[in-house]
């Protein structure tokens, strides 16, 4: 499928890109009629020497839109009574710069700050944050998309990954979706986000360290490839599979219900997927989401996270995969990240992974 890509500029200077499934949609001709203030400046990155991590401080995000009524949704198409973030009256998939970004290349207030103390350096939170709308239907969900639309989303994410990876100082590109008020979504419309991080996030850094250690120990073998092969051989935690992808519950799953979907060959990121791999992903992922919603007979809150290779050193160690997990541990119970998880980062799982896999397989 060949997408038609057209970019426009919103009234405050942010970029918006339509990904149309048919030619001659004419959506790029619509202008943003709003009178918007300039985008906020870049956030700060403050270094935490106690754990060797960077923390972003983006105070402007306190004012972001929070659960507006459906007739004032900023992710719906613009209509006669409300001008939204999307000027066109309809769309297939659309991507635009976040109005309240965690990272950006906007002006830094007061110039670059070099340190707060001799132990805490500070630098601008340079990067990019985008919003991805999967459908113009406010009342839909990712799980209700057609396989063809999922393919459009994958192509859009691949396009953005390739372009954002070329931005100066970007360390990793991270597409994700938050679904459900239990997760903390602030907009009900089906959408995801893409972060172009200026530093390697802690989980990715840990994965790179583990992958490098495994490669050194095994003469260059890829850690994730070996884990995937072991799960395929064990079978007990595999949910479903096709010619190009396998979906399985990790043996040491941290979340009550967690599934990873991995291509059968090592690729660094979404742009590296073949046409056949992109087509095969949608049906398998939609099946996993159907099983999630079928577990307790109601929409499952989840986070869906694409783990891609880093842009710089360690890129050869990466192995693209999607992690989707839920904090729901029973029909009427949520897993809260309390003392051990939040304070120590030490997870205690409430559901045995093999049992979780069997429950997901049993959903009809």
| Residue 338 belongs to domain with CATH number | 3.30.428.10
Same-domain status, 115 and 161: yes
Q: 194 and 210: one domain?
A: no
CA distance 327 to 264: 28
Among 137, 170, 199, identify where a domain stops.
Answer: 199
| Owning domain of residue 350 | 203-362
Specify the number of domains making up the chain: 2
Could you tell me if 193 and 214 lie in one domain? Answer: no
**pLDDT (tens digit per residue) in 274-313:** 999 999 999 999 999 999 999 999 999 999 999 999 999 9
Q: What is the distance of C-alpha 260 from the center of its chain?
A: 14
- 252 and 121: one domain? no
Looking at residue 2, its pLDDT comes to 82
Residues 107, 19, 82: CA angle, nearest 5 degrees: 70
Position 153 scores a pLDDT of: 98
Give the residue carrying structure tokens 């372009």: 163
Confidence at residue 106, expressed as pLDDT on a 0 to 100 scale:
86
What value does the mean pLDDT take over residues 322-331? 98
Which of 199, 226, 255 is at the close of a domain?
199
Mean pLDDT of the region 235-240: 98
Mean pLDDT of the chain: 96
Backbone angles phi and psi of 208, in degrees to 5: -65, -40
Using the predicted structure, report yes or no on whether residue 229 has a pLDDT greater than 80: yes
What pLDDT does 107 receive? 75
Residues 179 and 217 reside in one and the same domain: no
Q: Are residues 176 and 57 in the same domain?
A: yes
Give tens-digit pLDDT for 191-227: 999 999 999 999 999 999 999 999 999 999 999 999 9
Instruction: Determine the pLDDT at residue 313.
Output: 96
Same domain, 225 and 108: no
Domain boundary among 149, 179, 199: 199
Span 47-56, average pLDDT: 97
List active site positions. 191
Whether residue 210 is found in the same domain as residue 357: yes
**pLDDT tens digits for 72-110?**
999 999 999 999 999 999 999 999 999 999 999 987 655
The pLDDT assigned to 111 comes to 56
For the full predicted model, state whether its pTM sits above 0.75: yes
Tens-digit pLDDT profile for residues 150-188: 999 999 999 999 999 999 999 999 999 999 999 999 999
> In what helix (H) or strand (E) does residue 100 lie, and over which residues does it extend?
none
Does one domain contain both 219 and 167? no
What pLDDT score does 112 carry? 67
| Distance (Å, whole) CA 284 – CA 287 | 5
Regarding whether 213 and 145 lie in a shared domain, the answer is no
**CA gyration radius, the chain:** 21
32 and 94 belong to one structural domain: yes
- Judge if 36 and 182 occupy the same domain: yes
The stretch 336-355 carries a mean pLDDT of: 96
Summarize the confidence of residues 312-317 as an average pLDDT: 97
């Amino acid at each position: 499928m060949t997408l038609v890509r057209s970019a426009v500029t919103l009234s405050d200077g942010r970029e918006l890109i339509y990904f149309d499934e048919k030619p001659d949609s004419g959506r790029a001709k619509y202008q943003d009629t709003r009178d918007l203030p300039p985008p906020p400046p870049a956030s700060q990155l403050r270094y935490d020497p106690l754990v060797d991590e960077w923390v972003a401080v983006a105070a402007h995000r306190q004012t972001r839109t929070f659960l507006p009524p459906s007739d004032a949704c900023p992710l719906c198409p613009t209509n006669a009574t409300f001008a939204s973030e999307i000027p066109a009256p309809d769309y297939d998939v659309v991507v635009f710069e976040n109005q309240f970004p965690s990272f950006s290349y906007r002006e830094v207030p007061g110039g670059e700050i070099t340190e707060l103390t001799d132990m805490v350096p500070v630098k601008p939170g340079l990067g990019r944050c985008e919003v991805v709308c999967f459908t113009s239907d406010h009342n839909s969900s990712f799980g209700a998309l057609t396989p063809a639309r999922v393919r459009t989303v994958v192509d859009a994410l691949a396009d953005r990954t390739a372009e954002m990876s070329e931005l100066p100082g970007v360390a990793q590109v991270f597409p994700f979706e938050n679904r459900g008020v239990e997760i903390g979504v602030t907009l009900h419309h089906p959408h995801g986000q893409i972060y172009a991080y200026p530093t390697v996030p802690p989980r990715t850094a840990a994965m790179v360290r583990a992958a490098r250690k495994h490669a050194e120990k095994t003469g260059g073998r890829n850690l994730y490839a070996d884990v995937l092969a072991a799960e395929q051989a064990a079978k007990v935690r595999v949910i479903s599979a096709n010619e190009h992808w396998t979906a399985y519950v990790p043996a040491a799953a941290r979340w009550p219900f967690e599934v990873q979907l991995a291509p059968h060959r090592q690729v660094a990121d979404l742009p590296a997927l073949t046409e056949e791999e992109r087509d095969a992903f949608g049906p398998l992922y939609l099946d996993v989401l159907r099983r999630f919603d079928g577990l307790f007979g109601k929409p499952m809150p989840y986070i869906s996270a694409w783990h891609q290779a880093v842009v710089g050193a360690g890129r050869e160690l990466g192995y693209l995969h999607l992690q989707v997990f839920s904090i729901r541990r029973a029909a009427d119970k949520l897993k809260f990240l309390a003392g051990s998880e939040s304070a120590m980062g030490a997870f205690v799982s409430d559901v045995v992974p093999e049992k979780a896999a069997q429950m997901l397989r049993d959903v009809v």
